[in-house]
């Protein structure tokens, strides 16, 4: 059973979190292209909207990752190990950044692309969003490293 739980956990992480990291990283570029006549056919605005939908949808699907992670940790008896607690804390921080900063930031930029009169704030907003996405990605990379290295783990890996 542990192998099934771990498999679902890893697959969900790759598919959900991986998709979010790629889509969120690409979003600011296309959102900026949608401003100031750089997108005469509206293609960049459509791509930015699509990338936002990917982030939003996969964020919901990504809830499977910690659920199956906790189930796997319980099955392995490692819920109190420092590496797992640190991974959970980083996961909560990454999820909070996604839910409270990245997704709303994307929505604000999309709104700016529709309202050509308020283009003054698009570059700072895109820069901030790029920074937040980078932090989100580093947090997930750290979680992956902790899951592989498992410092202090007694499970034999």
Instruction: Report yes or no on 157 lying in a domain.
Output: no
Please tell me the pTM assigned to this model: 0.89
Percent of the chain surpassing pLDDT 90: 72
Q: At which residue do the structure tokens 């989100």 appear?
A: 136
Alpha-carbon distance of 112 to 123, in angstroms, equals: 11
**Maximum C-alpha span of the chain:** 60
Q: How many independent structural domains does the chain possess?
A: 1
List the domain range (segments joined by +) for residue 13. 2-149
Q: Domain for residue 130, yes or no?
A: yes
In a domain, 52, yes or no: yes
- Is position 155 within any domain? no
Residue 140 lies in a domain: yes
Q: 24-33, 34-43, 97-106, 110-119 — which is least confidently predicted? A: 110-119
């Amino acid at each position: 059973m542990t192998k099934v739980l771990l498999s679902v956990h890893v697959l969900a992480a790759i598919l959900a979190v991986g998709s979010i990291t790629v889509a969120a990283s690409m979003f600011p570029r296309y959102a900026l292209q949608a401003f100031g006549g750089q997108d005469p056919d509206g293609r960049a605005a459509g791509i930015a909207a699509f990338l936002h939908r990917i982030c939003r949808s996969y964020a919901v699907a990504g809830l499977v990752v910690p659920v199956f992670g906790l189930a796997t940790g319980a099955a392995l008896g490692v819920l109190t190990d420092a590496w797992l607690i640190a991974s959970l804390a980083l996961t909560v921080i990454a999820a909070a950044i996604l839910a409270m900063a990245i997704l709303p930031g994307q929505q604000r930029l999309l709104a700016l692309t529709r309202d050509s009169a308020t283009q003054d704030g698009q570059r700072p907003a895109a820069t901030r969003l790029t920074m937040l996405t980078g932090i989100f990605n580093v947090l997930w990379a750290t979680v992956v490293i902790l899951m592989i290295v498992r410092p202090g783990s007694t499970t034999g890996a």
